[in-house]
Amino acid sequence: MRKAKILTTGMYVPDCVVTNDLLAQAMDTSDEWITQRTGIKERRMVPDTYHMLQQLAHAPDKEAYLKALYETGMQGKIDAEMSTADLALRATQVALTQANMTAQDLDLIIQTSVVPDYVFPGVACVLADKLGLTSTPTFSLNQGCAGFIYALSLADQYIKTGTYETILVVGAELLSSIFLYSNRGRDMSVLFADGAGAAIVVPASPEEPSGMMSHHLHTDGTLLGKLYAELFGTTTFPPMVKKKIDDDRSRPRMEGRAVFAQAVRRFREVVRECLEANKVSIDEVDHFLFHQANVRILESVSESLNIPAAKVPVNIHKYGNTSAASVPILLHETLQEGRIKRGDLCLLAAFGTGFNWGASLLRW
Instruction: Tell me whether residue 242 is in a domain.
Output: yes
Instruction: Tell me whether residue 340 is in a domain.
Output: yes
- Catalytic-residue membership of 218: no
Instruction: Tell me whether residue 195 is in a domain.
Output: no
10 Å CB burial of residue 96 (0-12, 13-18, 19+) is buried
Query: Tell me: the pLDDT tens digits for 160-205?
Result: 999 999 999 999 999 999 999 999 999 999 999 999 999 999 999 9
Q: Rounded to whole angstroms, how far apart are CA atoms 247 and 344?
A: 51
State pTM to two decimals. Answer: 0.97
- Catalytic-residue membership of 291: yes
- Predicted confidence band of residue 72 (pLDDT cuts 50, 70, 90): low
Q: Rounded to whole angstroms, how far apart are CA atoms 175 and 171?
A: 12
- Predicted confidence band of residue 19 (pLDDT cuts 50, 70, 90): very high
3 state SS of 339 = coil
Which residues make Cβ contacts (< 8 Å) with residue 14, sequence separation at least 6? 44, 45, 46, 47, 50, 82, 87, 194, 195
Q: Which of 144, 169, 170, 148 is nearest to 158 (CA)?
A: 169
Catalytic residue among 16, 20, 125, 145: 145
- Predicted confidence band of residue 73 (pLDDT cuts 50, 70, 90): low
Beta strands in 119-235 (DSSP E): 138-141, 167-174, 194-203, 211-219, 227-228
One-letter amino acid identity for 25? Q
Within 13 Å and on the Cβ side, how many CA atoms surround 9?
24
Residue 75 has pLDDT above 60, yes or no: no
Q: How many helices (DSSP H) and strands (DSSP E) are in the chain?
A: 13, 13
Query: Tell me: the pLDDT tens digits for 49-61?
Result: 999 999 999 999 9
pLDDT of residue 157: 98
User: Helices (DSSP H) in the chain: which residue ranges?
Assistant: 20-26, 31-38, 47-58, 62-72, 84-99, 123-130, 147-160, 186-189, 242-246, 256-277, 295-305, 316-319, 326-336
CATH number of the CATH domain containing 337: 3.40.47.10
Query: Tell me: the pLDDT tens digits for 133-152?
Result: 999 999 999 999 999 999 99
* φ/ψ of residue 158, rounded to 5: -65, -35
Whole-number percent of the chain with pLDDT over 90? 87
Range of the domain at 273: 211-363
Residue 252 has pLDDT above 80, yes or no: yes
Whole-number percent of the chain with pLDDT over 70? 98
pLDDT of residue 231: 80
Q: What share of the chain is helix, strand, coil (3-state, %, to 5)?
A: 45, 20, 35
Instruction: Tell me whether residue 267 is in a domain.
Output: yes
Q: Which of 21, 331, 284 is nearest to 152 (CA)?
A: 331
Instruction: Tell me whether residue 84 is in a domain.
Output: no
* φ/ψ of residue 254, rounded to 5: -150, 135
- Predicted confidence band of residue 76 (pLDDT cuts 50, 70, 90): low
pLDDT of residue 335: 98
* φ/ψ of residue 30, rounded to 5: -155, 160
Instruction: Tell me whether residue 263 is in a domain.
Output: yes
Between 75 and 247, name the one with better pLDDT.
247
Mean pLDDT, the chain, whole residue set: 95
Catalytic residue among 216, 287, 291, 332: 291
Residue 266 has pLDDT above 80, yes or no: yes
Catalytic residue among 321, 332, 346, 356: 321
One-letter amino acid identity for 291? H
**What is the number of domains present in the chain?**
1
Residue 70 has pLDDT above 80, yes or no: no
Region 257-274: what's the mean pLDDT?
98
pLDDT of residue 232: 78
Query: Tell me: the pLDDT tens digits for 96-113?
Result: 999 999 999 999 999 999
Between 67 and 212, name the one with better pLDDT.
212
Instruction: Tell me whether residue 283 is in a domain.
Output: yes
Residue 294 has pLDDT above 70, yes or no: yes
Region 5-32: what's the mean pLDDT?
98
Instruction: Tell me whether residue 337 is in a domain.
Output: yes
What is the edge-to-edge ordering of all strands in the sheet holding 287-290? 211-219, 356-363, 345-352, 287-290
DSSP 107-119: SEEEEE-SS-SSS
- Catalytic-residue membership of 145: yes
